[in-house]
Structure 1
Amino acid sequence: MSVTPSTARRNVDYRLLLPAVTAWAVTSAVIGLEPNRHPPLFMAALVVAVSSCALLATKGPRRSIHRLTAAVLLTAAAAATTTALHTADLHRGPLPALARPPAPLTPPPPPTAPPPFTVPAPSTGPGQSDSEDERAAAGRPVGERPVNPEVTVQLTVTGDPKQRGPHPGGSPLSRPTLTVPALVTRVRLDPVPHSGSASDLTTRTRTPVTLLIRSQEDYPWRQLIPSTELELRAEVLPERPTASGGRSRTDSAALLVPQGPPRVTAPPSLPQRLAAHLREGLRDACDHLPPDSRGLLPGLVVGDVSRLPDDLADAFRATDLGHLVAVSGANLAIILAVLVGGTSSEPEAPVRGGLAGVLGLSFRTTALLGTVLTLAFVTVCRPDPSVLRAAATGLIGLLALATGRPRSGVPALAGAVLILILVDPQLARSYGFLLSALATAGLLVLGPRWTAALRARGWPRHLASAVGATAAAQAFCSPVTVLLAPRVSLVGVPCNLLAEIAVAPATLLGFGALAAAPLSKGTAEFLTDLAALPVGWLATVARHGAELPGAELAWPAGPFGAVLLVVVILSLAWAVPPLLAGHRSRSRRTRGLVALAVALLLPVVLLRPPSVVRLATGWPARGWRLAVCDIGQGDMTVLPVGPGSAVVVDAGPDPKAADDCLRGLGVTEIPLLLLTHFHADHAEGIPGVLRGRSVGAIEVTAAEEADGERSRVLRWAGAGGIPVVRAQRGERRTVGAELAWQVLWPTSPLAPEAEGANNSSIAILATVGPSAAPLRVALLGDLEPPAQAAVLALGLPPPAPPAPPPAVQGVPTVPTAPTVRAAPPATTNRTSARGSADGVSVAGSGADGAGRSVLAGSAGSAAPSGPGPPGVGRVDVLKVAHHGSAGQDWSLTAALRPRLALISCGEGNPYGHPAARTVAGLRALGAMVVRTDRSGDIAVLGDARTLAVATHPRPARG
């Protein structure tokens, strides 16, 4: 019998939905309030509660409306009261006071900027690790060392240690950090000096905090198990207020930096020890698997993503499969379905299927076993927001089963959300909890209707159910994911459909290995071998889906983007059914034309051939000589060699952004990837550079600093079989007929000025373009004033016969001068304007037919003359050092006297890059300043006689 949409329409109880939404909204608004607003809040909650009681006492024809209104008011009052009570510990006690010192009565005088051509004093002395920009980002004055209070605390670990990625700013902050949530139960303060009192200032408290471990010796901290009690000495970091003056954190009262290793005063509880033993057993059983399966299976089963490859995690996010990377409510639903059974044909009737039905267990026994299984699942997999939502929903369903009442999905979901918000108000601001609730709501509300509509049009039952459920979940969740990252995945629905067939087998086999590991490691390894097949399928779907050029569509950021996406989804939901409906020939022709259009346009949208993209966007500009990619707060420069071939200098902080930029430029072959230094904002994008491209070699600095990032670079190179070589001053390379460069810095052995990773950056002077009038380009990495001054003093290195640079330990060398085919002559598509002979003087600007912003200018001779030692001379283009920070040696800049200054930095970065005085100084020298944070991708066109710039704006990234 065919299924019609009417069969999906049944009476759904929405009465609990409004109170649940009310509690969520009130909690989210109240959770950030200061303590001085709590008394008026309690009084308002009391008035609302009394008013709701009065509504309950009224009688009349609108009694049902009065009851609903009273329920909403009571829920709002309860949510406000419980939120204020739960967050009280965030504000009382010594730790919040130490983290939020009182503001000074008089603001400090504003700093005066030095003249643009003076050499500023070094921002750090010997032995200091903070740079000027890092201190500014940390919210303390430049030149002032932090003086933070230290306390001795006793605390209980409340969650698993979590790895945080390297900071893009470099220096000490670039090392990965570890965060550990904890509850402080006792605080001992140091006695005040010269107070004459040596009493023990100990305070009992219950203050939630976050431990921040910056040291590389973090192995003892990684082994901590929730419920472990510790005593330690810690530094209290000051809290940085938000732009609105509120608190930057609502889940912890302070950030504590431990001084020394942890000292355990009490071991974890028995359930937590058993859970940790099971998790460790699963990890051990996965050790022999390939890297993707080894990292993905523990994440899919118990939420352990510590070994998940970074590029695979990015692929799962790009394909909207991120809910599979870590354990989610779907895992619990699969486990309960094995015990209780799936949805029956009569959803409103109590059912007992699965193992319970086979064994003939009663409703109450089945509900009891399901409750035990749910609690064990939460303990082993950790109470993440999605897990809590699924557990609460499942327990409500089990309660209905035990009492013989009908099960209904929407009331169970609303009741679970209401209870959890009242018990744990922090969930109100959790994106994970919101996405889990929305996905479940989509499955319950829209899923059955869309499935029935597809069945009515002849779709197979299983395919219609899968497409309807997946599309409904995506429709509900997409507006929220846009707030997290301004992009829409065009492959999310098909990738989820392809992944669905492997999720249940991988989950069940993984849990089987988890349970078998303590009893027999061989059995556990056998089960993980079986699970590796569906897990490998999941990884394959994610990787191939993310590699499609059109996998993601850029979307406006912020609330506007979310509202716009809601409008688009509603429009599609209204427009698509009429195209699918009807039985007349005209409708069949319409459906045929739509299917043909989709078949022709979809490959173009997903594959995005460079020739088609250039016709649509005008990017890349024809005849480009150099490109600076807009990859956020970092550096990435591309020097073309020939069709599809280019030398890349640095890779930026984001693999996805690096891959997108090279894909847009049509680069598929990279003779050399030059990495100026080992900082995250220059190196973390390497996996994106390597994705689908042949790389001849990676050249790195000789400095041994930033060991963590250096190890990651060598690991990526080793995995791709790419040789790694070290650069040295005087090295000269030529690639093709129109690209050559020489290394200006660093010296070998490293000079005293090269202290710190920034000062060990590789600096090169390149010539690009035709030999008749080549462009001279200086790329200075992140050099700071001491190293910049040394570059000026040394001048150009003397000519030397080419010799292979020394190889990094254990890695072979490559020839000094790799050669590829010469690029054919290219024409420039730009507008031009006359300028003075002393630099670029923009006399006009405009846009080409593709809508690019085009800046153009011309100049006289670019001969290497001017101030400074012989041989340094002037350059046409300067990639400004260190993202345009205030730390510039203006003697070097004046010697280079660039006509065009390019600054690569991220929009709204916390370091204030570029510094206003740096931009002003460059313009005073006659340089045109172009920035990636305002212009997007930058392409340099022309030659030394005529210089032009084409820009390609990119949407904001989340």
Structure 2
Amino acid sequence: MTPQQAPRARAPVHAAADSPRGASAPRQEGPADLRLVPPALAAWLAAALALGASGRAVALACAGAFLAAAALLWATHHPRRVAPDPPDEPAPAGATTTGRPPGADARLRATSSGTTGQLARAVSSPVGSASGSGAALWAGAGAAARGPVARRRGLAGSVAAGLVCGAAAAAVAWAHAADVRRGPVPSLAGAYAGATVELTVTGDPRLTRPRVRGAALAPVSVMVEAEATRVAADHGGTTATTRAPVLLIAHAPPRQQTAWLGLLPTTRLRVHGRLAPPAHGGDRTAAVVRVDGGTPLIVAGPTAAQRVAGRLRAGLHAATEGLAPDARALLPGLVVGDTSRVSPDLDEAFRAADMTHLLAVSGSNLSVILVLLIGPPHLAARAERRGLAARLGIPLRMTALLGGGLTLAFVVVCRPDPSVLRAAACGLITLLAIATGRRRSLLPALAAAVLVLVLYDPWLARSYGFLLSVLATGALLTLAPRLAAALRRRGLPPRPAEMLAAAVAAHAVCAPVVVVLAGRVSLVSIPCNLLAELAVAPATILGFAALAAAPLALPAAECLAWLAGWPAGWIASVARTGAGLPGAEAAWPGGWRGGLLLAAVTAAALLAGRRLLRHRLVCALCALLLLLALVRPAPLARVITGWPPPGWRMVACDVGQGDALVLSAGPGAAVVVDTGPEPRAVDRCLRTLGVVRIPLLVLTHFHADHVAGLSGALRGRAVGAIETTPLLDPPDQAESVRRRAEAAHIPVVTAVPGERRRVGPLSWEVLWPPPSAGPHTEGPGSVTPPAEGPNDASVTLLVRTAGLTFLLLGDLEPPAQSALLAAHPALPEVDVLKVAHHGSAYQDSRLLRRLSPRLALISCGADNPYGHPSPRTMAALRAQGAAVLRTDSAGPIAVTGPDLRAAVR
């Protein structure tokens, strides 16, 4: 055999070689089959547009699309209009005449060559494994190689398929949107009418997230997604049968919320409430039904399948009851997507670390279950296959049927959220390939899943969760294999290369969408997801085992849950640690412009990364720069950003409509006065200041805009004590502070007038409130605070540091300000005044004249509904010769040095 003949002789051998991906020669796999991608994208775009369009516009667009598709096919396929292709040249030896490469027919006939080579990645989460480039279908490749006419026909067929699928999706989407816009429910909602409504529960009830409204927390309510089936308006309205999606909000006291939270999907209810339009137009909700108090009146119970799913979920809850708080909250979310126990601070940590996909059931959960059934994916269709099915002797097709049933059960138990539906559709298509013995490609499977789901539920076309799920999966199938191959060529071991490539690919395509929603970029997403990935599979497997065992043997389920609690706790620790880094997040322009800008920057970074990977020194330098950006050592951050200014003495943090003041007590230490309305804002402020130790945290009073951010101030910091006003009002907020302090093992003390303390260069005296502000403390001769409630019981501090005098008034109203002046007639003039009650119009003019501040600081939120600060108050302060600074326009404000310089960030 001559050297020239050797390659040709070896080609058939390579073509038939057994491999998880098909043939052993990578080039023989050919290009990916993208024929289903344009129809899927066309259907997605058409459905998203048609949901908000008029019926006339949709009808005209559909008719035009069908006519254009017919004309295009006729023009390219009519025999009189198409010249025949020139005859084919004789095929060379060893090649086929079908356009496939050598050995392709053998690979298509052999079900053992890669039938399920990448099942886990087909249904994986954004941090799943990405091991390989994916298979490709060769159907139609021969036609593309036969001549220009065939290529034109293929292109015309693709365009026609996109037009037809887009028209079909638009028609289906309009029909769905019409159900929302027509009927009695939207008209009653527009009139804010009361009505008796019969409805069917379609989703799991959940509690609203606590939100601060002014000085109070908005009451926590129960939200239930449902479908209204019958409605009867009050005042003689007739009963009408309908089918309209609604959002039920039950304003029930805590003891009655349990009955609402226990409702299962498919349960039928009868409620009486007031209907209102949805907060955001253009969504799938026809009306909001608000119900005040009471327990739900159940007309019919849930279906048998939902009762079984409910018992499984309840069993998992019971099995995890004794775990540590983070593991107890996180494990049900990892297994079945139940986040009812996840605290706001843990949820915020997962958001900051871009790990929220772990709180929503995704493809990784389903892939774990299917791998347990069929064994390693690349062996699933071969004689040496493994898994439970192989050990039990179950045939291949029966294994696929069992996998399909398991997938449907997974959707019922974990609920049909967008990511669950996407994973289930991809899994079912892949299982169908196993059952039929056909070679399958993952990109066509993903495109087919998108097309089917958009036609089934057009509202998914506007779901950000669905978009993120599809983008992450697409990145794992296309971008991740190339990144992994590049990393392996640079000497990285295969498994770490695949994990890193998967995390980078998912983050690269999902980050622009996250920016659209949140206006920030997580810098810890990739390392946090890599570290968490090590524990996801064990936590998921043991969690599902506990889920299955709970109805049969609760003690065994508790043991399994205890084992699962270790990896779940690790995941929570990774999220909290990553979110706690000073540079965990970076601000970025929000909206679609910010998303497009980040996409362009990411694409440029990936292109530049291909060159950087060749230079290890440059890679090490980039890693060092990233590490510095995450840790942000205070000296380095001060040099680069100028914040915080050297020698700062007090900082008024920008926490929105609330107060959070930081008084320097030495390197890394500060006394904090109030924590604002939101944990994330005060935590960010303290991190930028380098505060890791708080000897004393003062809460002037218990209004939510001063104490709701307490968990953010406590996060990752050593706190010596919490000092509060003696007036425990509002009682719910006072109790919340007590619980948080008790959980963190921090003592709570009460401020006493005349109390003097000193920490490092900082000293202060408590001037207010008098003892009579607290319960059971009034006595003869005591000074009684005015009856303005918590505001007039604010802890007031006179602070001295570095030759400066500060007076912090909390939210004192004019009567209390006047009483303060009467109780302290020798009150000195001050250098800095923290203006009372966010600069409201109600200030005592005599106190302002007495204090005669050089600098007045006002902490308030931009565009707040109260008009703070008042122009009258600012004019009065300026009349006293004070410079006025406000956080809503200046951001955080730092006061430095004895010369009273004020700096803004």
Matched residue count = 801
Equivalent position of 1:231 in the other structure? 270
Equivalent position of 2:689 in the other structure? 665
- In structure 1, how many angstroms separate the alpha carbons of the residues matched to 2:173 and 2:869? 42
Equivalent position of 1:677 in the other structure? 701
Equivalent position of 1:293 in the other structure? 327
Is 1:792 the counterpart of 2:817? The answer is yes
Superposed CA RMSD = 3.2
Give the letter aligned to residue 620 of structure 1: P
Give the letter aligned to residue 73 of structure 1: L
Distance 1:790 1:531, change over 3 A: same
Equivalent position of 2:798 in the other structure? 766
Partner SS for 2:378: coil
Deviations 1:233-272 (A, max 9, x none): 212345557xxxxx27543422423343221121111111
Distance 1:425 1:792, change over 3 A: same
1:183-202 alignment, distance < 5 Å? 183-191=227-235, 199-202=236-239
Match of 1:775 among 777, 802, 805: 805
Partner SS for 1:560: helix
Is 1:448 the counterpart of 2:472? The answer is no
Give the letter aligned to residue 901 of structure 2: A
Deviations 1:629-681 (A, max 9, x none): 12334321112223322211111233333222112222222121112333443
Distance 1:240 1:729, change over 3 A: farther
User: In the TM superposition, what is the alpha-carbon distance from 1:626 to its structure 2 partner?
Assistant: 1.5
Bigger mean CA offset, 63-72 vs 541-550: 541-550
Deviations 1:479-505 (A, max 9, x none): 112223233323322222222222111
Distance 1:793 1:553, change over 3 A: closer
Partner SS for 1:621: coil
Partner SS for 1:87: helix
1:373-384 alignment, distance < 5 Å? 373-384=406-417
- In structure 1, how many angstroms separate the alpha carbons of the residues matched to 2:323 and 2:728? 32
Deviations 1:196-243 (A, max 9, x none): xxx4532222222212233433222121211221112212345557xx
- In structure 2, how many angstroms separate the alpha carbons of the residues matched to 1:482 and 1:5? 41
Kept after mapping to 1: 8 A contact 2:186/2:277: no
- In structure 2, how many angstroms separate the alpha carbons of the residues matched to 1:888 and 1:747? 23
Is 1:903 the counterpart of 2:858? The answer is yes
- In structure 2, how many angstroms separate the alpha carbons of the residues matched to 1:874 and 1:481? 50
- Larger-gyration structure (1/2): 2
Is 1:56 the counterpart of 2:88? The answer is no
User: In the TM superposition, what is the alpha-carbon distance from 1:871 to its structure 2 partner?
Assistant: 5.1
Deviations 1:518-557 (A, max 9, x none): 1101111121122122222222322333333233333333
Match of 1:12 among 10, 32, 47: 32
User: In the TM superposition, what is the alpha-carbon distance from 1:755 to its structure 2 partner?
Assistant: 5.4
1:571-650 alignment, distance < 5 Å? 571-581=604-614, 590-591=615-616, 593-598=617-622, 600-650=624-674
- In structure 1, how many angstroms separate the alpha carbons of the residues matched to 2:618 and 2:388? 46
- In structure 2, how many angstroms separate the alpha carbons of the residues matched to 1:888 and 1:951? 26
- In structure 2, how many angstroms separate the alpha carbons of the residues matched to 1:423 and 1:893? 67
Deviations 1:793-825 (A, max 9, x none): 3133647xxxxxxxxxxxxxxxxxxxxxxxxxx
Equivalent position of 2:308 in the other structure? 274
Distance 1:309 1:256, change over 3 A: closer
Deviations 1:417-449 (A, max 9, x none): 122122222222222111111110110011111
Distance 1:716 1:340, change over 3 A: same
Is 1:168 the counterpart of 2:212? The answer is yes
Distance 1:219 1:449, change over 3 A: same
Give the letter aligned to residue 466 of structure 1: M
Equivalent position of 2:887 in the other structure? 932
Equivalent position of 1:178 in the other structure? 222
Kept after mapping to 2: 8 A contact 1:350/1:405: no
Bigger mean CA offset, 708-717 vs 437-446: 708-717
Bigger mean CA offset, 440-449 vs 463-472: 463-472
Partner SS for 2:821: coil
Distance 1:526 1:487, change over 3 A: same
1:431-580 alignment, distance < 5 Å? 431-580=464-613
User: In the TM superposition, what is the alpha-carbon distance from 1:382 to its structure 2 partner?
Assistant: 1.1
More helix by percentage: 2
- In structure 2, how many angstroms separate the alpha carbons of the residues matched to 1:220 and 1:572? 52
- In structure 2, how many angstroms separate the alpha carbons of the residues matched to 1:915 and 1:421? 52
User: In the TM superposition, what is the alpha-carbon distance from 1:478 to its structure 2 partner?
Assistant: 1.4
Equivalent position of 1:877 in the other structure? 832
Equivalent position of 1:362 in the other structure? 395
Distance 1:13 1:677, change over 3 A: farther
Partner SS for 2:287: coil
Match of 2:241 among 192, 197, 204: 204
Partner SS for 2:39: helix
Bigger mean CA offset, 307-316 vs 873-882: 873-882
Partner SS for 1:534: helix
Deviations 1:59-114 (A, max 9, x none): 2432222222222222222222212211223222343224334xxxxxxxxxxxxx
Partner SS for 2:586: strand
Deviations 1:868-890 (A, max 9, x none): xx556765434344444566677
Kept after mapping to 2: 8 A contact 1:730/1:797: no
Deviations 1:801-854 (A, max 9, x none): xxxxxxxxxxxxxxxxxxxxxxxxxxxxxxxxxxxxxxxxxxxxxxxxxxxxxx
- In structure 1, how many angstroms separate the alpha carbons of the residues matched to 2:867 and 2:823? 38
Is 1:948 the counterpart of 2:866? The answer is no
1:669-748 alignment, distance < 5 Å? 669-727=693-751, 733-745=757-769, 748=772
> TM-score normalised to the size of structure 1?
0.78
Give the letter aligned to residue 700 of structure 1: T
Distance 1:910 1:178, change over 3 A: farther
Kept after mapping to 1: 8 A contact 2:583/2:631: yes
Deviations 1:568-619 (A, max 9, x none): 22222222222334xxxxxxxx42x224424643443332111111111221
- In structure 2, how many angstroms separate the alpha carbons of the residues matched to 1:320 and 1:652? 24
1:409-420 alignment, distance < 5 Å? 409-420=442-453
- In structure 1, how many angstroms separate the alpha carbons of the residues matched to 2:153 and 2:870? 65
Distance 1:238 1:369, change over 3 A: closer
Deviations 1:296-327 (A, max 9, x none): 11110011122224333332222222211232
User: In the TM superposition, what is the alpha-carbon distance from 1:381 to its structure 2 partner?
Assistant: 0.9
Kept after mapping to 1: 8 A contact 2:833/2:856: yes
Is 1:83 the counterpart of 2:173? The answer is yes
Is 1:43 the counterpart of 2:60? The answer is yes
Equivalent position of 1:311 in the other structure? 345
Kept after mapping to 2: 8 A contact 1:251/1:426: no
Kept after mapping to 2: 8 A contact 1:776/1:875: yes
- In structure 1, how many angstroms separate the alpha carbons of the residues matched to 2:63 and 2:865? 43
Partner SS for 1:15: coil
Give the letter aligned to residue 669 of structure 1: R
Equivalent position of 2:95 in the other structure? none
Kept after mapping to 2: 8 A contact 1:374/1:391: yes
| Structure 2 gap ranges (5+) | 1-13, 83-148, 775-783
| Structure 1 gap ranges (5+) | 102-147, 192-198, 242-246, 582-589, 800-869, 953-958
How many percent of aligned residue pairs carry the same amino acid? Answer: 50
- In structure 2, how many angstroms separate the alpha carbons of the residues matched to 1:889 and 1:8? 85
- In structure 2, how many angstroms separate the alpha carbons of the residues matched to 1:889 and 1:905? 19
Partner SS for 1:326: coil
- In structure 1, how many angstroms separate the alpha carbons of the residues matched to 2:384 and 2:839? 67
- In structure 1, how many angstroms separate the alpha carbons of the residues matched to 2:646 and 2:219? 40
